[in-house]
Amino acid sequence: MLLTFNYKDSTPEVTPESEAKKKKPKLFNKFDKTVKAEINAAEKLRKKGKAEEALRAFEALVQKYPQSPRSRYGKAQAEDDMAEKLRSNEMLLKAVNTYKEAAELPDAPADLIKASLKRRADRQQFLGRTRGSLATLERLVQIFPEDTALKNDLGVAHLLVGDNNGAKRVYEEVLAVAPNDGFAKVHYGFILKSENKIAESIPYLRDGLQSGAPGTDDGRFYFHLGDALQRMGDANEAYHWYETGHQHGHFASVWQRSLYNVQGLRAQPWWTPKETGFTDLVRMLERNWMTIRDEALAVLDTSRGLFMPEDENLRETGDWGQFTLWQQGRKVTSACQSVPKTCAFMERYPEATSCKRGQIKFSVMQPGTHVWPHTGPTNCRLRMHLGLIIPRTGCRIRCTNQTRAWEEGKVLIFDDSFEHEVWQDADTFRLIFIVDVWHPELSQSQRHSLSPI
């Protein structure tokens, strides 16, 4: 599974409501205290859920007292509320801008600046404006350089734009002053793992998870700690963490560790064609396997380099190449020009070609290749393997605790959200055709609405 990241704030949003249980934030400057009754009246409307009335009240206050940070902040919150009520990105953009205005007014209290900009960064991220969110968090850290929670959020923002090096620098700064910060540790370990510094990543991931700090109880961290331990040969501890992740609700089971799932789908490692309901597709593949094989061999024999090396760091040893025809439900037209008959065969089977959470591809594996135990990202697909060139001995695939071998002209079907592992110990290459299909229990509306992976 690729190392990817989604936003997860390390601290709760700072609002008057959330902070009241702890230290109440100081949101009123000297001027705002003189008009506190008017501001509180507008805020009362907002807290009662009267978003339109609250927005009108705060707009009037901003017009009347343009120098008032608290009035401007209230207007931003009311716009934020209206955006949620109307499901309006246009209104949310207004809130994003007003939060910035509130934070930049002269004499704005520090707590108000922090609350405004934190919420602004959060809403920018919600809108997909990850670089804008990063810039807002960078500004926050400039204003509050001692606040490690803000730095932790800044690190996540760097990860979201794919800047692992920037995130790494931020977490190193945090750990230099707060060496026991669990959030920083687990994210730092995550980054080390992405750099293939497997042994080095383990103590950070482990300590971060054990800290129980907010933002650490995340399936990705259990996933990558277990994976790192497996690669270091410590299967017992790896499965301890997989079991813990399962108990915390992140994994369907110790074996089935995909993270992007639809609940309630039938879950088993190996499937028969009849169980999938896609028997026509299986029959077509097995009937035409030699034609598919010959087209693949023709591509493999060229010097154009169409087979690309596996790029998810799943190999312990060896050489593993792939030639993709469909990716995330989209046809790779240039690739299909090289194997037109194969693509023509597949066009008739939307359960495969429309699978936005899978691929259709050729896979060639050279002798001496070992693929680490791993799981796919989602339970929304099943994976078919059609044997094309299979050495007599030495090639096998394990899914959970069952190991099988490919046969030329035959289809194997498994659910790659379960742990699986591959060995290629033959003396010549292995070639298969991989076809991902939608899980048969997904409805048409679910297939249409699910995001690509």
Length of the chain measured in residues? 453
Question: Are the C-beta atoms of residues 61 and 74 closer than 8 Å to each other?
Answer: yes
Question: Are the C-beta atoms of residues 299 and 339 closer than 8 Å to each other?
Answer: yes
User: Which residues belong to CATH 2.60.120.330 in the chain?
Assistant: 270-449
Q: Up-side HSE of residue 125: CA atoms within 13 Å toward CB? A: 24
Phi, psi of 324 (to 5 degrees): -95, 135
Mean pLDDT, rounded, of the chain:
95
Local confidence band at 268 (pLDDT 50, 70, 90 cut-offs): very high
* 16-247 fold: 1.25.40
| Per-residue pLDDT tens over the stretch 82-106 | 999 999 999 999 999 999 999 999 9
Q: Would you state the torsion angle of the CA atoms of residues 194, 197, 203, 209, taken in this order, to the nearest 10 degrees?
A: 10
Residues 6+ apart with CB under 8 A from 95: 76, 77, 79, 80, 83, 123
Poorest-pLDDT segment among 8-12, 91-95, 170-174, 246-250: 8-12
pTM for the full model? Answer: 0.88
Local confidence band at 333 (pLDDT 50, 70, 90 cut-offs): very high
What pLDDT is stored for residue 17 in this prediction? 47
Q: What b/e sequence results for 430-449 when a residue is b if at least 16 CB atoms lie within 10 Å of its CB, and e otherwise?
A: bbbbbbbbbbeebeeeebee
- CATH code of 270-449, in short, is 2.60.120.330
Question: Are the C-beta atoms of residues 54 and 46 closer than 8 Å to each other?
Answer: yes
Determine which helix (DSSP H) or strand (DSSP E) holds 421, and give its type and residue range.
Answer: strand 420-424
How many CB atoms neighbour CB 299 within 10 A? 17
Q: What is the SS3 assignment for 71?
A: helix
User: Which residues belong to CATH 1.25.40.10 in the chain?
Assistant: 16-247
Q: What is the SS3 assignment for 197?
A: coil
